[in-house]
Structure formats: C-alpha cells, structure tokens
Amino acid sequence: MPEASALPGRTVVVGERELAIGFRLIGLKDVVEVTPDTSVAEFQKALGNDAFSLVIASQAIRPRLSETQRAHADASLRPLVVFVPTPGGEYEVESIAALAKRVLGVTLGPAS
C-alpha cells in the first residue's frame, strides 16, 4: 500500500466570492468562500487538512498571514499551496525559478 503522502488528495480553493464562484463553475466541490475576517482561519484549516494535496488560495490572503504562517505555506509540499490573483485585484507573480526552488528545492540558472 502506498504511503499516505503518496496518495492523491483533493484540491481546495480558499478565496473571496468571485474566486469561489469561478472555481465552482468549473466543477470544484471543495471551495471555501472567505471574508477578510475569516480568511486566515479558513486558510489555516485547509492547510492542516490531510485530505487536501493542493490548496489554491486568493493572493489577498497572503499579506494577512504572519511571517511564520507564510513561511509554512511556502515550504509546504503536501498540501502544495498556490496563491492566485482575484479578478481585478493586484497580485504578485511568482517566477518559475522561485516556484522550482520552493517546490523542488532546485535552483534554476543559465544553461552552460
């Protein structure tokens, strides 16, 4: 039997109404609609749920997290955490090199 960490898990989306509606429309069932007051608690609940292998969270949640919570989310591989922009909102784009470093632990450099 495969290890629990090797088993496929579910995807959960944690975000504002617009983000939640969009993911529900494409068929995702595990969608948690949050407000600024509930976002951090709901994000932490999703991050701690072993049933989820991927947490897709609104970019607006990231600045509300403490430095420790952000570091934990960035280092997490199960579940993998991906922050996505909300429609019409400001967002930060994580480079492919930063994503590879965070997820795979490898540094991408120029080809020699």
- Does the pLDDT value for residue 100 go beyond 70? no
Across all residues in the chain, what is the average pLDDT? 84
The helix-helix angle for 67-75 and 39-47 (nearest 10°) equals: 40
Domain holding 78: CATH number? 3.40.50.10580
Confidence of residue 85 (pLDDT cuts 50, 70, 90): confident
92 located within any domain: yes
Structural domain contains residue 83: yes
Q: Is 28 a member of any domain?
A: yes
Which range marks the domain in which residue 86 is found? Answer: 7-104
Q: How many domains does the chain have?
A: 1
Residues 6+ apart with CB under 8 A from 77: 103
Q: In whole angstroms, what is the distance from residue 54 CA to residue 81 CA? A: 6
Look at residue 112 and tell me if it is in a domain: no
Average pLDDT over residues 23-49: 96
pTM of the model: 0.75
